[in-house]
Each structure stands twice: as C-alpha cells, then as structure tokens.
Amino acid sequence: MIEIVKLIVLFLIMVGAFLNLVAALGVIRLPDVYTRNHAASKASALGIMSILLGTFLYFYFINHHFNSRILLGIAFFFLTTPVAGHLIGRASYNSGVKLWDKSVQDDLKRSKNNTEIRE
C-alpha cells in the first residue's frame, strides 16, 4: 500500500516538474505575448496543482497528517490562473502589443475600429 502511494506521489511530482519545465520552455520558444501566455497559464497551472496534490498525498498517507491548506491552495490555483492569464492578455492587448506577424486573423481590432468610428 505504502509503496503504491509512493509511486503515485513520485509520478505526480515528476509530472508537475515536467509541466513547469515545459511552461518555461514555452515562454522562451513561442513568438509573442499571447502564445507565451498559452504556455504559461495552462502548463504551469496543472504543474503546480499536481505537485501540490503529490505533496498532500505524501503527508496524508506517510505521516497521517491531513493538511487542508494544500487542498485550499489547489482550489485557489484552479480558480485564479485562468483569470490571471486572461488579465495579462487583455492588458497587453489594450496597451497595444502587436500580435505575431504570422497571425492570421484579428477580429478584436476590427470591432475596436468600428466602435471608434461610431463614436
């Protein structure tokens, strides 16, 4: 039983570390703010959540210590990372950061121009 738990914990923490590494690589590799935001807001969210879950299971099954703060941390990350990603994207769009030059389509720009014309 303990060995199985240890294997699951090992798997969760390794996956979390791997996902965080991928998020960092994505921030370096991808071309513009918005695509970097994809990597940073998704991969690091699940990465941190699985590291926290692994830590929780370790302390619960091996030290018999139920730490509810870790569960709360998971819940807060789950709720706040998409909002943070959205806000960074929105702030950079509104302050005029250009999309990558190979971007295909930009509906938001058209609608912003329309409202300016109407005003």
Partner 1 sequence: MAFQLLLNVFLGFMWMLLTVTFEPVAFLKGYLFGLLIIFAFRRFFHSRFYLLNVIAVFKLIYIFVRELILSNIAVVKTVLKPKLDINPGIFAYPTVLEKDWEITILANLITLTPGTLVIDLSPDNKILYVHAMDINTKKESIDSIKNTFEKAIMEVGR
Site for partner 1 in 35-94 (CB under 8 A): 35, 37-39, 41-43, 45-46, 78-79, 82-83, 85-86, 89-90, 93-94
Chain centroid to Cα 111, Å, comes to 28
Q: If binding means CB under 8 A, how many residues of this protein chain bind partner 1?
A: 40
Q: Minimal distance in Å, beta carbon 2 to partner 1?
A: 26
Query: How many Å apart are CA 23 and CA 20, to the nearest integer?
Result: 5
Query: How many Å apart are CA 56 and CA 75, to the nearest integer?
Result: 13
Site for partner 1 in 5-34 (CB under 8 A): 19, 22-23, 25-26, 29-32, 34
- With the CA atoms of 51, 10, 15 and 79 taken in that order, what torsion angle do they form, in degrees rounded to the nearest 10? -20
Shorter beta-carbon distance to partner 1: residue 5 or 46: 46
Q: Which of 11, 65, 108, 113 binds partner 1 (CB under 8 A)?
A: 108
Q: Which two tokens stand for residue 100?
A: 């990558």
Q: What angle do CA 65, 79, 40 make, to 5 degrees?
A: 100
Residue 113, judged by CB atoms within 10 A of its CB (0-12, 13-18, 19+), counts as exposed
Shorter beta-carbon distance to partner 1: residue 1 or 96: 96
| Contact footprint for partner 1 (CB under 8 A) | 19, 22-23, 25-26, 29-32, 34-35, 37-39, 41-43, 45-46, 78-79, 82-83, 85-86, 89-90, 93-94, 99-100, 102-109, 111
